[in-house]
Amino acid sequence: MYEITVKGQTGHSRIQVGGRLADLAGHLSGQRAIFITDRNVAALYQDRFPPGDVIVIGCGETNKTLDTLAAIYEQLIALEADRTTVIVGIGGGIVGDITGFAASTYMRGLRFGFVASSLLAQVDATVGGKNGVNFKGYKNMVGVFNQPAFVIADIDLLTTLPRAEIACGVAEIVKHACIADAAYFEYIEAHCDGIAALDPAVMLHLVHRSVVIKAGVVNQDEREAGERRKLNFGHTLGHAFEKTLGISHGAAVSAGMLLAAEFSMHKGLLSANAFNRLRALLERLGLPVALAFDRTEVFNALKKDKKRQQQEIHFVLLEKIGQATVASVSLEEVARWLMQRP
Ligand SMILES: NC(=O)c1ccc[n+]([C@@H]2O[C@H](COP(=O)([O-])OP(=O)(O)OC[C@H]3O[C@@H](n4cnc5c(N)ncnc54)[C@H](O)[C@@H]3O)[C@@H](O)[C@H]2O)c1
Ligand SMILES: [Zn+2]
């Protein structure tokens, strides 16, 4: 097991990679616990939760709303949760984001932690202290920065995770390697079969390296004023694909990363060799590298990106494998390049 610490303004978060759901009781500090999970995770794992009340929410992004949050507050009141209660979200990123927000706001904030059960939650969503819900079609529009007291990333839980959900986590793993760690990229290149087979030693290494990278970035820039923006590599175009094509986040980010790499090459920053390596790796991992998309629709979605500032967007460019830079790029330049691509 590895332990990584995120040092946030609201407190420290201890992340145990390779920790176990079975050891959750040890993190509750003798406090009364209330668990929040979703229907899928409850069906598979609720019998392994420590003693305590359980709040079950529906599955999927459509449940990441203020309505679900209100239903959670109601149940917390009915269960007489108070400032001495600890709240634990057990599930994927959706359970985590909602639980963190509910626990941060109910009675002005209770102690909370997570057991991350999806690969994306383990390598990304439970690291860094962003909590929140969607609002009127805008993703993560309402929320708070607040670090969970503890996170358990239990690799064994991944065995029941659907393949498409594994792919979402793998896309973020490749992102971490691209922006921060060439040796990690090489490791992924050498272990594609182990990833496909969910080899526990390989998965442990991946979750560990990714958490170290994300925690390192967050420790430098918790509030996303600079360094943390690099974690958006592939996401500016990825979000546009997700919206316009209705595909999964992982698939969109994969194609978004390759297109961002192409743009980096177009701007003379990235070598063709590095671009080809990224494309080959994504292909071997079964992630999409090229999508048929409507340029105008994608460009219109880019214009609506909430991270846009006036006519400029913070675009994450790749300089080489393992090194990214954030540039302020005008929407017009992106449009020109998108339109003239073959
Ligand atoms: N806070 C952050 O910094 C951050 C970062 C990235 C993503 N996110 C958010 O995370 C969410 C996506 O997270 P996700 O991909 O984990 O989605 P998710 O929470 O919907 O989980 C994916 C699916 O897998 C199921 N599941 C989870 N664990 C399982 C297991 N062990 N076995 C079987 N099924 C399991 C869930 O029920 C769900 O159907 C998005 O809402 C996104 O905005 C947040
Ligand atoms: Zn992502």
Domain boundaries, the chain: 2-158, 163-340
B/e letters for 190-208, b = 16+ CB within 10 Å, e = fewer, are: ebbebbeeeeeebbbbbbb
Closest residue by CA, ligand 1 atom 39: 59
In angstroms, what is the span from residue 267 Cα to ligand 2's centroid? 24
Q: Are 116 and 124 in contact (CB under 8 A)?
A: no
pLDDT-above-70 percentage for the chain: 99
- 0.95 exceeded by pTM: yes
Q: What is the pLDDT along the chain (342 residues), one digit of tens a residue?
A: 999 999 999 899 999 999 999 999 999 989 999 999 999 999 999 999 999 999 999 999 999 999 999 999 999 999 999 999 999 999 999 999 999 999 999 999 999 999 999 999 999 999 999 999 999 988 999 999 999 999 999 999 999 999 999 999 999 999 999 999 999 999 999 999 999 999 999 999 999 999 999 999 999 999 999 999 999 999 999 999 999 999 999 999 999 999 999 999 999 999 999 999 999 999 999 999 989 999 999 988 888 776 667 788 899 999 999 999 999 999 889 889 998 988
The pairing of beta strand 11-17 with beta strand 150-153: parallel
pLDDT for 157-178, tens place per residue?
999 999 999 999 999 999 999 9
In angstroms, what is the span from residue 91 Cα to ligand 1's centroid? 7
In angstroms, what is the span from residue 169 Cα to ligand 2's centroid? 8
Looking at residue 60, what is its pLDDT?
A: 96
Give 49-103 as a 3 state SS string.
CCCCEEEEECCCHHHCCHHHHHHHHHHHHHCCCCCCEEEEEEECHHHHHHHHHHH
- For the CA of 38, the nearest ligand: 1
- Assess whether the region 2-158 and the region 163-340 belong to the same CATH fold: no
Lining ligand 1 with CB less than 6 A are 38, 40-41, 44, 59, 61, 64, 91-95, 97, 117-118, 120-121, 124-125, 128, 130, 140, 157, 160-161, 165, 168
**CATH top class, domain 2-158:** alpha beta
Q: Among 97, 112, 172, 222, say which to mutate for ligand 1: greatest number of ligand atoms within 8 Å of CB.
A: 97
CATH number listed for the domain at residues 163-340:
1.20.1090.10
